[in-house]
Structure 1
Amino acid sequence: MKKLLSIAGGLLLSISLCFAAKVDTVLIHSAAMNRDIKCVVVLPEGYNKADQSYPVLYLLHGYSGNYANWVKHAPDFIKCVDQYHIIGICPDGNFNSWYFDSPIDSTVKFETFVSKEVPAYVDSHYRTKKDRKFRALGGLSMGGHGALYLAILHKDFFGAAVSMSGGVDFTPFPKNWDIAKVLGPYDQNKERWQRHTAEYLAGTLNNGDLALSFECGTGDFFLGVNRALHLKLTNLKIDHDYAERPGQHNWDYWNNAINYQMLFLHRFFEKNSAK
């Protein structure tokens, strides 16, 4: 059952699901791109009954996906929102933005949108804990890259990041996933491509800057770049969690993986709550 409501902040689409969590779709205005963009908001059971604030996970979709992918294809995500009492936010990142502010296309400003404009809307419309220790980024594939990339760039604002099957270094794939549309052709812009990878930015981290967890299936084409990032962080003595499990680049893997990553984030939030 779907019900359309008009609200001050935009258009709210309420969706009745077989879970206790409340799932809404909101339109958030991006001043950087001069347009309204859809985001899913998942509120835990009891949100409207209790006067308390919640940690927030900004969860990003993959290439060719959209804002609704996680709630449509990963029911365990919604269960975890209830179980761990957090707010889940799934912004649209366009089908191929890779969550960059594109240096060649002024209409693609998804770093600004996800790291600044969406959190500003969320913090002003929902009861959030307004501290980096209670903000996290996560995602799969393109979104797994985006989660690590944005968290490292904005570690003063986000405290943790998790990635599932992330394209953490896309330079080995110069012809894939329309990356050239947002960064320019690889053969003409190799340094630019490298500087926009999460693997490259990992070299700017100091130990303790972020709580980091990432994983990849053993049958995934991104396995090699995830292993390389794990080795780099290990050599840099940057604390992080890394896991490999049997699985492919698909929703069966990600619906299972979100349980492990949400537990990691729950422990991060709980540790900070105890301080």
Structure 2
Amino acid sequence: MSSFRTIELSDDVFENSGLRFLTVKTPNLKGRGDICLYVPNVIENLTDLPIYILLHGVYGSAWVWAMKGGAHLTAKHMMERGTIRPAIIAMPSDGLWGDGSGYLAHEAQDFAQWIVTDVPKAIRENISCASEKSKICIGGLSMGGYGALKLGAEFPDVFSAISAHSAITKFSEMALFVEEALDSFKLCDTENDVIDVIKRNPKDLPAIRFDCGKNDDLLEGNRLLHGQLDSFGVNHTYEEFAGGHEWEYWQKHVESSFRFFDGQVW
């Protein structure tokens, strides 16, 4: 029996490049949510594939990691070369609140639980090569990097690894991107910087890596988070590369997320 009142799954007759689309209705969103999926061709009856969730940034939706980032093609080529082992790539919407929900629990809608609970459940119930044994990793870019770091740290029992690119690290940095005033988010809690979550339990965290471009306006915040993690004794990997806050950077460095996830779940 399904956990969702309504489900729509794309028909494989019309799918391309291994991409599938799933829409479910959930109380957490007070409506429907979309998930774009890359499901690799695997031998019959193979189950328990890990699930790698990629969160998008502001202005985007479930399609952008695939249609602007080519993440599914990168994953496909890496799997074909044997660089990483088979995995499901899940690219959900953020819930489509304003310019970006922040993947946070708002007063009326819980965009955090949409990602943490609903997305894995929808995949496990509707994609045959996933199961309750499928390990889950979470990554993202910009606002999605913020969501990955915050949710991964808050729910270490759910996620095996975290990887973020060009991440917002402080909630105040959302103001650089969104039209909505930050107090309009009507959040259920008030401490919403990444470090606020991590410092609550720095010893019980998934594996963490993150990177940022040297020409990115968010570089200072990423360097600060790196230093804060060091001060709390949190094991992590932080890297800086050439580039800015742009798709060319994320297209290239999503490979690092896939390699990192692969190393944590197999």
Q: Structure 1 length normalisation: TM-score?
A: 0.82
Runs of 4+ residues over 6 Å off in structure 1? none
Distance in 1 between residues matched to 2:174 and 2:52, nearest whole Å: 29
Q: Structure 2 length normalisation: TM-score?
A: 0.85
- Of 225, 230, 233, the match for 2:226: 230
Distance in 2 between residues matched to 1:183 and 1:256, nearest whole Å: 35
TM-superposed deviation, 1:37: 1.4
CA-to-partner distance for each residue in 1:104-129, whole Å, 9 max, x for gaps? xx1x3211111111111112222325
Distance in 2 between residues matched to 1:173 and 1:209, nearest whole Å: 24
Matches within 5 A, 1:23-102: 23-46=19-42, 49-81=44-76, 83=79, 84=84, 85-93=86-94, 94=96, 95-102=99-106
Q: CA RMSD in A?
A: 2.3
TM-superposed deviation, 1:52: 3.0
Q: Is the 8 A contact 1:28 1:118 kept in 2?
A: no
Find out whether 1:240 has 2:229 as its counterpart.
Answer: no
Report the equivalent of 2:130: 128
How many aligned positions are there?
248
Distance in 1 between residues matched to 2:153 and 2:243, nearest whole Å: 27
Report the equivalent of 1:182: 185
Q: Which has the higher contact order (CA 8 A, sep 6+)?
A: 2
Q: Is the 8 A contact 2:137 2:160 kept in 1?
A: yes
TM-superposed deviation, 1:154: 1.2
Distance in 1 between residues matched to 2:206 and 2:183, nearest whole Å: 29
Percent identity (aligned): 21
CA-to-partner distance for each residue in 1:203-234, whole Å, 9 max, x for gaps? 12333521101100000011011111111111
Q: Partner letter of residue 183 of structure 2?
A: A
User: Which blocks of at least 5 consecutive residues in structure 1 are unaligned?
Assistant: 1-7, 271-275
Matches within 5 A, 1:135-214: 135-171=136-172, 174=175, 176-177=177-178, 178=180, 179-183=182-186, 192=190, 195-207=191-203, 209-214=205-210
Distance in 2 between residues matched to 1:268 and 1:59, nearest whole Å: 16
Other structure's SS at 2:171 match: coil
Q: Is the 8 A contact 2:47 2:131 kept in 1?
A: no
- Distance change in 2, residues 1:239/1:9 (3 Å): same
Q: Is the 8 A contact 1:207 1:239 kept in 2?
A: no
Q: Partner letter of residue 99 of structure 1?
A: Y
Q: Is the 8 A contact 2:156 2:204 kept in 1?
A: no
Q: Is the 8 A contact 2:102 2:143 kept in 1?
A: yes
TM-superposed deviation, 1:46: 2.3
- Distance change in 2, residues 1:230/1:81 (3 Å): farther
Q: Is the 8 A contact 1:219 1:247 kept in 2?
A: yes
